[in-house]
């Protein structure tokens, strides 16, 4: 089936699941749902569990993605269609609507999209392999699933090889402010945890960028 190129962000998305990841500290997550906007190449990484049902993933999509992007017109995935159909049916149940318009499921992908998904999966596995952790002032230890937002931000603000622009620029029309853009370097660290947290953020950014560069090589 021919895939029509989208004319605006979040009209069409690529979707895949990265499995066999190390369990999160609370044992809730061992997989990651990867969603990529075909238009802007903006990724969203959602920690999940490999045993999640279609309704579980529908709730995750609704709360973390669709409430911000709106409903997609096309889903492109090489995953089996039965699960994806059940996923989409449950999303419409959450909306209170009938599945009566032409939301299309394409059980295939093209070469560019396949490489993009594989790259993102490789980046996630690499960031997990670094084993970055940070214990905050409340004693909570952040691991790969709580550091995923830093990986998202690093990817969104990296120039994509096919578009020659960042995903953020194509999606929003501007690049987001980064912590380094807003923090003054001459400020005194008044809390010992602040310095440690800043070092952790630097490490996450460094390893995320390295993972992205290594994956593209």
Report whether pLDDT(56) > 80: yes
Report whether pLDDT(103) > 80: no
> Residues 115, 27, 121, CA angle at the centre, nearest 5°?
5
- Averaged pLDDT for residues 12-33: 83
Report whether pLDDT(13) > 80: yes
Domain count, the chain: 1
> Residues 61, 38, 103, CA angle at the centre, nearest 5°?
60
CATH of the domain at 190: 3.30.420.10
CB 166 within 8 A of CB 156: yes
Q: Is residue 71, in this structure, part of any structural domain at all?
A: yes
Q: Is residue 2, in this structure, part of any structural domain at all?
A: no
Residues 6+ apart with CB under 8 A from 108: 1, 76, 78
Q: Is residue 78, in this structure, part of any structural domain at all?
A: yes
Query: Tell me, what's the pLDDT at 99?
Result: 47
pLDDT band for 49, please (50, 70, 90 cuts): very high
Query: Tell me, what's the pLDDT at 10?
Result: 92
Report how far Cα 17 is from the mean position of its chain's Cα atoms.
11
Q: What is the pTM of this model?
A: 0.71
pLDDT band for 86, please (50, 70, 90 cuts): confident
Max avg pLDDT among 78-87, 91-100, 128-137: 78-87
Q: Is residue 143, in this structure, part of any structural domain at all?
A: yes
Mean pLDDT of the chain: 73
Max avg pLDDT among 102-106, 137-141, 205-209: 205-209
Q: Is residue 26, in this structure, part of any structural domain at all?
A: yes
Task: Identify the burial level of 126 via C-beta atoms within 10 angstroms of its C-beta, where 0-12 means exposed, 13-18 middle and 19 or more buried.
Answer: middle
Report whether pLDDT(167) > 80: yes
Q: Is residue 59, in this structure, part of any structural domain at all?
A: yes
Print the domain residue range for 113: 12-216
Instruction: Give the torsion sign (CA, 88, 94, 99, 101).
Output: negative
Q: Is residue 6, in this structure, part of any structural domain at all?
A: no
- Averaged pLDDT for residues 164-188: 71
Report whether pLDDT(104) > 50: no
Q: Is residue 4, in this structure, part of any structural domain at all?
A: no
């Amino acid at each position: 089936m021919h895939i029509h190129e989208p004319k605006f962000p979040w009209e069409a998305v690529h979707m895949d699941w990265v499995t066999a990841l190390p369990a999160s500290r609370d044992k809730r997550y061992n997989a990651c749902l990867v969603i990529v906007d075909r238009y802007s190449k903006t990724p969203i990484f959602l920690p999940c569990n490999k045993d999640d049902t279609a309704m579980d993933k529908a709730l995750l999509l609704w709360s973390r993605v669709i409430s911000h992007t709106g409903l997609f017109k096309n889903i492109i995935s090489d995953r089996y269609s039965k699960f994806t159909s059940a996923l989409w049916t449950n999303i419409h149940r959450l909306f209170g609507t009938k599945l009566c318009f032409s939301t299309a499921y394409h059980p295939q992908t093209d070469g560019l999209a396949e490489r993009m998904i594989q790259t993102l999966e490789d980046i996630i596995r690499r960031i997990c392999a670094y084993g970055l952790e940070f214990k905050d002032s409340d004693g909570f230890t952040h691991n790969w699933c709580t550091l995923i937002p830093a990986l998202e931000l690093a990817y969104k603000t990296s120039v994509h090889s096919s578009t020659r622009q960042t995903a953020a620029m194509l999606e929003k029309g501007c690049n987001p402010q980064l912590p380094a853009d807003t923090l003054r370097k001459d400020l005194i660290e008044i809390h010992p945890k602040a310095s440690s947290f800043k070092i952790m953020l630097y490490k996450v950014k460094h390893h995320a960028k390295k993972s992205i560069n290594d994956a593209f090589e």
